[in-house]
Amino acid sequence: MEKAQAYIRIHELREILNEANRLYYVENSPTLSDYEFDMLLKELDGLEKEYPEYISADSPTRRVGSDLKKEFEQYPHRYPMLSLGNTYDISEVQLFADRASKGIGNSFTYSCELKFDGTAICLTYRNGKLFRALTRGDGSVGDDVTRNVRQISNIPQSLTLPAGFIPTSDIPAPWPQEFEIRGEIYMPWAAFDRLNDERIEEEEQPFANPRNAASGSLKLIDSRMVANRGLECTLYHMLGENLPFSTHDQALKAAEDWGLPVSDKRRICRDIEEIEDFINHWDIERKNLPYATDGIVIKVNELPYQEELGYTSKFPRWAVAYKFKAEQALTKLISIDYQVGRTGAVTPVANLEPVQLSGTVVKRASLHNADQMEQLDIRIGDYVYVEKGGEIIPKITGVELSQRTADATLPRFPEFCPDCGTALIKDEEEAKSFCPNQTGCPTQIKGRLVHFLSRKAMNVIAGDATVEQLFNKALVWNVADFYDLKTEHLLMLDGWKDRSAGRFIKSLQESRKVEFDRVLYALGIRYVGEATARSIARHFGNIDAVMDASVEDLLTVDDVGQVIAESVHDFFTEESNREIVSRLKAAGLKFDMGETPQKLSDGLEGKTIVISGNFSISRDEMKALIAAHGGKNSGSISGKTAFLLAGEKAGPEKLKKADSLGIRVLSEEEFMDIIGGSGEAESADSENGIHTSKGVQLSLF
């Protein structure tokens, strides 16, 4: 790969992995399977090794994902809470063992343990009582979830004295006055299935896997609810000052004696053969465990040797995780449905002969797109391998060609929308086929309606079936129609009574309080997810500014690239969408951020300004300052640009372009003069060594 390409790929990978980390740790709804994630991480690591000039401290290769949430108090970890280096390859376990042997130089042992698939926890016991429980957080700071952890039944509030231990005034207890013990909080399969059944009943999104269910439950705000989630804990690493143990195994045995939950499924191994035996045994046996495991952890058992080997910035050098490949099942492909989604993308979905996989019966699996079908060379009637990744719907990963029969038929990806008959368009970049009939394709319309009402959007209580009925009875065609619904309309629906209709109308009424960023998300603009909607809403402040924004304007928003900018611009160019917005406005929905920034002057009214470089205040503050004086920010220079405001290290391309178009270039000082700032006040401040934001000073004028 060429250097320029590597640079682009590195940034692309970091973006994908950071977003995947956020979805995984904060939203608890993963988009990538662990395997996919680990492979991308490996690719990034390889590129960073090849091009060390692009290494950055905040790369996902050097940072653990963060689960921090603002709802919880945060405390620093006494010892950094790192993750483990992991591999799917037994030869890398061998390499780990070789490195450890070389580093230690003496004979030593390994402790092999199950890798529980849950969420990491760090418990502190002080004087034998549970004092605090922190999540991993970002590795150095964790969320305080002590209240919730107290609801988990197998975590003791107080330690118990081992049988035969007689306390004396010299040795009052066998445990250190204070120590930390780390482990995993997980949700057993039975509790997981029960929880998801309840969620489906309540029309809530089910959790993708027990791990997400566990971390979501641990972060519940109402700790009473945690008690009903059936969480369990297993502990695997004790830390403290001068612990009286020489091996990790002794420490865990002691913890067990004190009443702490420690897994009995571990073994002390002497060499790689014994490690491999342990791995192979559990790769099969784990299917019979009542909880999810995703691998084996191999640790150097002797504590002095652990210390000797030490840590990298992200991993301990004395431990490694071997991860099992996702569980597979072999079954017959009966047929393929082609489903149209909310954005018009047509996805092939396989109907399978029911088969047992990771604790559930699988009947349907995703095939992603036409390219993947071709790659797999799949036929109707084939025996196929299915795997569960991070998503609820499993995917087909391979075809067992040895079992193909003569009557297996080649599937044909449709050329026309299975729903409305419009010719499909293929998006080469995404390898997906789209139905372009956005305003007339029933599935797309219904998909947008369902999205609009969904919990993260307008949060209106209604199931897909309600939307289906409203649409079929021609009561709702676009999202604005919801707000014209009257009780008598709703009573036309099957099984609806005054009470359910009243509840729905009230829920719609409530949705008028939903903040602008979520309303913008609810509109269902392609590629605009929650986070992007928030950035756009904050940047522009109100819908009119968003609707009038050019692609260049949109590109100045953080996290908005060309594809998103074009998508937003196209959406609002469509007259029908503008009409929907004006009807929603009339219905009373929130279309501005509320806190309109204080208007300081209209000195820049009608002027479009481009900024470049660094200023004494942040670029966002500078943009806000321009807006507060009535000016308009733009990302690129054109004939309409009033002037280029150039700070330190202004972009040479921009300066050149301004020069060629004869556009004035202003320094920060000149700009401050224009809007009424004064150089004197600033120099006085710098003499006093006080850094005052000029925005603050200006508001005084």
Sequence-ordered alpha helix ranges (H) in 26-121: 34-50, 90-104
Q: How far is CA 578 from the centre of its chain?
A: 31
* C-alpha span between 286 and 578 (Å, rounded): 55
Residue 228 or 422 with smaller CB distance to Zn ion: 422
* C-alpha span between 543 and 589 (Å, rounded): 11
Residue 237 or 432 with smaller CB distance to Zn ion: 432
Contact present, 404 and 382 (Cβ < 8 Å): yes
Min separation Cβ 493 and Zn ion, Å: 25
Question: Rule CB under 5 A: is residue 293 a binding residue for Zn ion?
Answer: no
Min separation Cβ 425 and Zn ion, Å: 11
* C-alpha span between 181 and 676 (Å, rounded): 60
Amino acid code (one letter) for 369: N
Residues touching Zn ion: how many (CB under 5 A)?
Answer: 7
Contact present, 632 and 609 (Cβ < 8 Å): yes
Q: Which of 254, 373, 417, 546 binds Zn ion (CB under 5 A)?
A: 417
**CB contact set of 505 (below 8 Å; sequence gap of 6+):** 485, 487, 490
DSSP class of 190: H
Residue 221 or 425 with smaller CB distance to Zn ion: 425
Amino acid code (one letter) for 337: D
Residue 234 or 438 with smaller CB distance to Zn ion: 438
Buried b (16+ CB within 10 A) or exposed e, 407-439: ebeebebbeebebbebebebeeeeebbbbebbe
* C-alpha span between 615 and 678 (Å, rounded): 16
Min separation Cβ 183 and Zn ion, Å: 50
Residue 266 or 446 with smaller CB distance to Zn ion: 446
Min separation Cβ 440 and Zn ion, Å: 7
Min separation Cβ 145 and Zn ion, Å: 46
Min separation Cβ 441 and Zn ion, Å: 3
DSSP 273-290: HHHHHHHHHHHHHGGGSS
DSSP 562-600: HHHHHHHHHHHHSHHHHHHHHHHHHTT---B-S-PPPP-
Residue 269 or 441 with smaller CB distance to Zn ion: 441
Min separation Cβ 479 and Zn ion, Å: 18
Task: Tokens for 16, please give them.
Answer: 């994908």
* Closest to 116 in 3D by CA, of 8, 262, 15: 262
Min separation Cβ 448 and Zn ion, Å: 13
Q: Per-residue contact track with Zn ion, 440 to 469, x per CB under 5 A?
A: -x----------------------------
Phi-psi region of 269 (alpha: psi -120 to 50; beta: other; left: phi over 0): beta
Which residue is catalytic, options 115, 388, 432, 590? 115
Min separation Cβ 397 and Zn ion, Å: 29
Residue 345 or 457 with smaller CB distance to Zn ion: 345
What residues numbered 418-437 form the site for Zn ion, per CB under 5 A?
419-420, 422, 435, 437
* C-alpha span between 418 and 431 (Å, rounded): 18
Residue 294 or 419 with smaller CB distance to Zn ion: 419
* C-alpha span between 390 and 29 (Å, rounded): 8
Of 52-60, 89-97, 364-372, 439-447, which part binds Zn ion (CB under 5 A)?
439-447
Angle, vertex CA 134, rays to CA 175 and CA 303, nearest 5: 45
* C-alpha span between 57 and 314 (Å, rounded): 11
Min separation Cβ 475 and Zn ion, Å: 21
Residue 248 or 448 with smaller CB distance to Zn ion: 448
Min separation Cβ 372 and Zn ion, Å: 21
* Closest to 32 in 3D by CA, of 6, 8, 13: 13
Residue 327 or 419 with smaller CB distance to Zn ion: 419
What residues numbered 349-388 form the site for Zn ion, per CB under 5 A?
none
**CB contact set of 216 (below 8 Å; sequence gap of 6+):** 28, 207
Residue 416 or 701 with smaller CB distance to Zn ion: 416
Residue 342 or 619 with smaller CB distance to Zn ion: 342
Q: Which long-range contacts (CB under 8 A, 24 or more apart) does 540-545 make?
A: 541/592, 541/593, 541/596, 541/597, 541/627, 542/516, 542/591, 542/592, 542/593, 542/596, 543/516, 543/581, 543/585, 543/591, 543/592, 544/591
Distances in whole angstroms, Cα of residue 586 to Cα of each of 90, 580, 593, 596 = 63, 10, 17, 20
Q: How far is CA 285 from the centre of its chain?
A: 31
**Does the annotation count 129 as an active-site position?**
no
The H or E element that residue 226 is part of is helix 223-227
**CB atoms < 10 A from the CB of 487, how many?**
12
What residues numbered 389-408 form the site for Zn ion, per CB under 5 A?
none
Task: Tokens for 59, please give them.
Answer: 């790369």
Min separation Cβ 395 and Zn ion, Å: 24
* C-alpha span between 245 and 304 (Å, rounded): 10
Contact residues: Zn ion, CB under 5 A: 417, 419-420, 422, 435, 437, 441
Which residues are the active-site residues?
Answer: 115
